[in-house]
Amino acid sequence: MSHTVDIPKAVKDELKKFRFAKSNGISALVAKVNKRELIIQIEETYNDLTLEELVEELPESSPRYILLSYKFTTNDGRVTNPLVLINWVPPSCEMSLLTLHASAWIEFEQLADASKVFDVRDGAEGLTEETLKAHLGR
């Protein structure tokens, strides 16, 4: 299989480590495409933050892959910590970067092995507690 963007072993190891880590609130692993080296790299890992704080950290004009561990109470009162993979694609993304980002999305999604996956294409307004809970409730 031909790859435009590679995912280094170190990134795969970080994804695995994040997937099995315990979290008491919201934790996130944010990755991006390094356009110059044509690899995915971990930009930042966050622990115990709010969704609003995470959104403030995300770029307004560049796509990101966000693996989120989110403490969620279901309608029947059970507390879960599902892994959610978010494809962050703000409306003002540069087309060449967006193309590279999209080319690696399927492989990153498979490696993340999240229970829920969705796109956010309208910036900060698209990633709120309400929208996240709506996706988790499906």
Mean pLDDT, the chain, rounded, equals: 90
What pLDDT does 30 receive?
Answer: 98
Three-state DSSP string of the chain:
CCCCCECCHHHHHHHHHHHHCCCCCEEEEEEEEECCCCEEEEEEEECCCCHHHHHHHCCCCCCEEEEEEECEECCCCCEECCEEEEEECCCCCCHHHHHHHHHHHHHHHHHHCCCEEEEECCHHHHCCHHHHHHHHCC
What pLDDT does 80 receive?
Answer: 83
Q: What is the pLDDT of residues 12-71, one digit of tens each?
A: 999 999 988 877 779 999 999 999 999 999 999 999 899 999 999 999 999 999 999 988
Domains of the chain by start residue, with CATH: 9-136 (3.40.20.10)
Average pLDDT over residues 114-126: 91
pTM beyond cutoff 0.85 = yes
What pLDDT does 138 receive?
Answer: 55
- Predicted confidence (pLDDT) at residue 1 exceeds the cutoff of 70: no
Q: How many CA atoms lie within 13 A of 120 on its CB side?
A: 27
Q: What band does 135 get if pLDDT is binned at 50, 70 and 90?
A: confident
What pLDDT does 101 receive?
Answer: 94
